[in-house]
A and B are shown apart, each in its own frame.
Chain A
Amino acid sequence: MSLLRNIASGLRSLLEKKRAAGELDEQLYGFLAMAAEEKTKQGMTPKEALRAVRLERGTLEATKEIIHSAGWAFLLETCWQDFCYGLRALRKSPGFAVLAVLILALGIGANTAVFSVVHAVLLRPLPYNDPDRLAMLWVSDTRSVGWAVSDGSTSYQDYLEWRRQVHSFQDLAVFYKRGWSVVTLTGEEPKKVQGAFVSSNFFPLMGVPPLLGRAFTEEELRRRERLIVLSYGVWQSRFGGSPEALGQKLYIDGKPWQVVGVMPPEFRFPFLAGNWEDHIEDEVQLWAPLTTNPSDEPSASGSLNVTRSPGKARFQVVGRLKPTVSIGTAQNEMDTIAGRLAGEYPDSNKTLGVRVRRLDEYIAGEMRRPLLLLSLCVLLLLLIACTNLATLSLARGVARARELAVRAAIGATRMRLVRQLLTESALLAILAGGTGLLLAGPTVRLIVALSPVNIPRLDETRMDAAVLAFSFLLALLCSLAFGLVPARRFSAGDPHELLKTGQQSTATNTLPMQGLLVGAQFALSLVLLVNAGLLIRSFVKVLEIDPGFRPDHILTVRMLVSDPDAAPRGRIADYYQRVLERLRQIPGVQAAGTVSNIFFREENRNHALRQVEGHPAEPEANWTPLVWAQIGGDYFRAMGIPLLKGRYFHSLDGPGSPPVAIVNQTLAKRYWPGEDPIGKRLKGFDPRGQNDDWVTVVGLVADMRSHGLERAPMAEIYEAQAQSGEATPNLVVRTSSGPVLPAETIRATLRSLDKGVILSGIETMQDVLHEQTAPRRFQAWLMGLFSSLALLLAAAGVYGVIHYFVAQRIPEIGIRMAFGASRKDIVVLLLRRAVRFAGTGLAVGLALAYWSASLLKKMLFGITDTDPLSFVGALSLLVLAALAATYFPARRATRVDPMVALRYE
């Protein structure tokens, strides 16, 4: 009640300022008058009486001030005064204001943008119940060499064992690592969507109930019923969000699936292994019972194929920890279980371990490090921006020293001066925060546009309330950070001293401080520039790599003949044949071929051939990555992979003729170093483990980097599609060097031969390679961008300091010139100062950069972490920036007319 009244009366004194003051005046005046009347009664003259009263009771004005300044309203009022005054001061020096706001806005904008991304990808809790207790479990194969890891899949049998033995987890759920990538939603134009096959305890374990309907039960799973849970997106697009969807049939690959549930929109899991070559969206849109995966051949028992053979390790496991169990404990227990399994099943499990990791960390995966690096960089950038502003404010503070001294002299308290300065910097920060927020929007879009395609949750990046709060918190912190430095300096000064000596002495006082700040900016900028240099150089090195084929003028498309179950192998081969023939007739097509897989970026396992004629069996220690590809048509000519020896496949290599193969150089070197591989014979590594025929090598081709640009080529064996009968869905078309053949022509050709064929987007091979280098491009671009900003800021810092230095030293420079100093001397004087500021910073920065580069080691390619070019380049850029930033103020200094300068003094 009294609080309310307090507020009300405070407000009244603010709003009805005049009336409230008038009332107080009248009372006070009455008080004094009455006191004076008393005195006159005692015999004083009215004038004497008034004087006596003033002496005894205080003057009217002083009393008014005391009473007025007592309420909270007064504080508000003076703050408002400070605010208005600050605005006026900023308007009076628009150059400073604009520069300051821009500098800080850059820092805040970059930070807000990167933080938005970090928030979306790393920090935001996953949209599952109690996500901190969810963990991913996967297999690590100790046979893997270097940083290569196996693809982490586990066999169903092992999953069952884990689930039976483990105590750390409440439950484990399982799903196929590869989703349902070949789904046709029949009805409209055939369309591919991603589907997941999950165990019945999957939804309860994730703790997210369906929005509508239900999930499937264990019983239904065992009966292999074709039931399906829809994603929110499919529900909306297919059924218009109608509750009628439940119980309806959805035709997938020609078979009916009954819809039983719909998941809420934010539920997105699992993020299935990007079937990278498929160009398929990774977002799961359908969930079906584990046992209904059409690509898994039913075993005799009618349940899941439970052998441990490597080909059957196709599952991934997610678990929910018991409430008090830590990840470490769970890992220890899983280690024990893996050891036990290795003992029991040495054939399959001897080299297998299990890794356990928090789900959020697992999902962020490879993006974690670059994003953390990026956030570190923008924080550095912000730090640079803040120091920069402190330098600027300091320099400006020097110019304002006299004004502040005057204010102090006529009675402003120290507190009041500090508050004034703080208000001004807060004002700047708020303006900058707003501007920064405007900058952040486009920056976020830039980051998302530059980012590699398959970062989970990146597309959910929003500038949400948390980010907004973050941005303004930053702005406020900055305001304090750079507002306090000048505030402390000037509020401490004795006004007499300041007024007496004017500007010169204070200028010399703050110079070391400014020098320190500029030095700090250079140190930090160097760190950023060196790291950016290293990453950019790595990126360029990657781009310089010869992929082993000629990526220009190649179009590639993935064609999936719909309903593979119904299409007999011969029909698929026939389709490929007709496609290739038809394409060859199109003018502008130089060569066309098909292949099972162009790239094997996820292939990390080591293998050996079953048998090589004249060689003993290879010990496991010698195994290396080795892949087997099927090709049709003029694949090598279309790709531009040169044939080094022997021959290509020809039409006589058919099902009836003896099996032949073409190998690459790596494979030839591995088995027949220094020998001619043509005519040699090898066996096996047939994924089906069926045929046991000798295969004769008929050709030798050059290596291509099918393992990803950054990895050495791996051993590769090509067989003819006509002989193996495997699907070779990737079409590669080389067009003549004229204009690129319109993708539509190819699309129409493919469609005309089979209406039901599912086509991925047609891409140029250059785009495909572009995607492969996307993570590096992302890092290189952003680091380049942020470090350029840092460079700019550092230059602005030097410029500001030297500029003010010159402004204050004009009399001194005048005297020097009057005494015969040449223009050159003046420039040298200034340059020396600039170099001294920057030099110390650069020395410190070099040490810091050296250290930070060593942290980057893992992310570099083709260069070491002490790459001289990056270091020297960054260093010279900064020195150049310092010199350039000094040049302009220096030129101004040399124009000083000694007479004018001295007269001014």
Chain B
Amino acid sequence: MHGYGISVRIEQMSRGVFRLNAGSLFLAIQRLERAGLIKGEWKETENSRRAKYYALTEQGQKRLSSETREWGKQVAAIARILEAS
């Protein structure tokens, strides 16, 4: 998925809550790429425009699932704390 696609997708899925600026988005992409979690490749879009498509690497997959697990744990914990109070 290319940069704009990512931002649109996130916006849609969060139902408009997260709207990414190009600055934050590409900074994040740059970091992830440097960390070896994603990999970019130049391709043509459907509108025949050149764009760099990013995909998770194997390492990125692993990291995603571990981070997701961790996140789930934390959210659940925070929810429990909030309920208790």
A residues sitting closer than 8 Å to B (CB atoms) are 1-2, 5-6, 9, 23-24, 26-28, 30-35, 37-38, 56-58, 60, 62-63, 66-67, 70-71
| Cross-chain contact B26 with A2 (CB below 8 angstroms) | no
Interface of chain B, helix or strand or loop or mixed? Answer: helix
| Best-buried of A30, A37, A71 by chain B (most CB within 10 Å) | A30
Q: Interface residues, chain B, CB within 8 Å of chain A?
A: 2-4, 7-8, 19, 21-23, 25-27, 30-31, 33-36, 45, 47, 49-52
A63 and B34 within 8 A (CB): no
Q: Are A31 and B34 in contact (CB under 8 A)?
A: no
Partner of A63, one of B19, B21, B45, B49: B21
Known: A63-B21, A67-B26. Contact between A30 and B7, CB under 8 A?
no
A27 contacts which chain B residues (CB < 8 A)?
2-3, 26, 51-52
What are 17 A-B pairs at a CB distance below 8 A?
A: A2-B36, A26-B52, A27-B2, A28-B26, A31-B7, A31-B25, A31-B26, A34-B4, A37-B47, A57-B21, A58-B22, A62-B23, A63-B23, A63-B26, A66-B23, A70-B31, A71-B30
Q: Which residues of B contact A30 (CB under 8 A)?
A: 2-4, 49-51
Residues of A with C-beta under 8 A to B27: 66-67, 70
CB nearest to A26 among chain B residues: B50
Complex interface: chain B residues within 8 A of A9 (CB): 33-34
Q: Are A35 and B4 in contact (CB under 8 A)?
A: yes
A70 to chain B, nearest CB (A): 5
A66 proximity list for chain B (CB < 8 A): 23, 27
A24 (CB) vs chain B CBs: closest residue: B26
- Please give, as numbers and ranges, the residues of chain B lying within 8 Å of A57 by CB-CB distance: 21-22
A interface secondary structure, majority = helix
A726-B23 Cα distance, complex, nearest whole Å: 100
Q: How long is the Cα–Cα vector from A34 to B45 in the complex, in angstroms?
A: 10
Inter-chain CA distance A24–B42, complex, in Å, is 12
Tell me, in angstroms, the Cα distance from A26 to B45 when the chains sit together.
14
Is the beta-carbon distance between B3 and A31 smaller than 8 angstroms?
A: yes
In the bound complex, how far is the Cα of B22 from the Cα of A38, in angstroms? 15
Min CB distance, B51 to chain A, in Å? 5
Q: Is the CB–CB distance between A28 and B50 below 8 Å?
A: no
User: A27, A28, A38, A66 — which one has the most chain B CB atoms within 10 A of its CB?
Assistant: A27
Q: Which residues of A contact B21 (CB under 8 A)?
A: 56-58, 63
| Bound CA–CA A23/B50 (angstroms) | 11
Contacts of A23 in B (CB 8 A): 52
Distance A28 CA – B30 CA, assembled complex (angstroms): 12
Query: Which of B2, B4, B22, B34 contacts A6, CB < 8 Å?
Result: B34
Tell me which residues across on chain B come within 8 A of A56, comparing CB atoms.
19, 21
Q: Which residues of B contact A2 (CB under 8 A)?
A: 34-36
B26: nearest chain-A partner, CB-CB? A67
Complex CA gap A597/B4 in Å reads 101
Contact, CB under 8 Å: B3 / A67: no
Give the CA-CA distance A32 to B23 in the complex, in Å: 11
Which chain A residues border B36 with CB–CB below 8 Å?
1-2, 5
Q: Given the known A-B contacts A2-B36, A31-B4, are A58 and B49 also in contact in the complex, defined by CB atoms under 8 Å?
A: no
Whether B35 lies near A63 (C-beta < 8 A) is no
The complex places the Cα of A32 from the Cα of B36 at a distance, in Å, of 26
Q: Is the CB of B49 within 8 A of A32?
A: no
Please report the C-alpha to C-alpha distance between residue A1 and residue B63 in the assembled complex, in whole angstroms: 15
Bound together, the chains give a CA A164 to CA B47 distance in angstroms of 102
Which A residues touch B50, using CB under 8 A? 26, 30
A67 partner residues in chain B, CB cutoff 8 A: 23, 26-27, 30
Q: How long is the Cα–Cα vector from A28 to B49 in the complex, in angstroms?
A: 13
Instruction: Knowing that A26-B52, A34-B45 touch, tell me 5 more A-B residue pairs with CB under 8 angstroms.
Output: A1-B36, A2-B36, A24-B26, A30-B50, A60-B22
Q: How far is the CA of A29 from the CA of B57 in the complex (A)?
A: 25
CB distance from B61 to the nearest CB of A (A): 15
Query: A6, B35: Cβ atoms under 8 Å?
Result: yes
Whether A63 touches B22, Cβ cut-off 8 Å, given contacts A2-B34, A5-B36, is yes
- Give the 7 A-B residue pairs with the shortest CB-CB distance, closest first: A34-B4, A66-B23, A63-B23, A2-B35, A63-B22, A31-B4, A6-B34
Provide the bound-state CA to CA distance between A32 and B30, in Å: 17
Within 8 Å CB of B34, what residues of A? Answer: 2, 5-6, 9
- Inter-chain CA distance A67–B28, complex, in Å, is 9
Q: B49 touching A34 by the CB < 8 A rule?
A: yes
Q: A30-B51, A31-B7 are in contact. Are A5 and B35 (CB under 8 A)?
A: yes
What is the bound-complex CA distance between A32 and B7, given in angstroms?
A: 11
Q: How far is the CA of A9 from the CA of B32 in the complex (A)?
A: 12
A56→B20 CA distance, assembly (Å) = 9
**From A9, A26, A57, A58, residue with most partner B Cβ within 10 Å:** A57
CA gap between A486 and B53 in the complex, in Å: 50
With A1-B36, A37-B47 already in contact, the answer to whether A70 and B30 are too (CB < 8 A) is yes
- Pick the most buried of A5, A31, A58, A63: most chain B CB atoms within 10 A of its CB: A31
Is the CB–CB distance between A28 and B22 below 8 Å?
yes
Give the CA-CA distance A56 to B11 in the complex, in Å.
13
CB distance from A865 to the nearest CB of B (A): 68
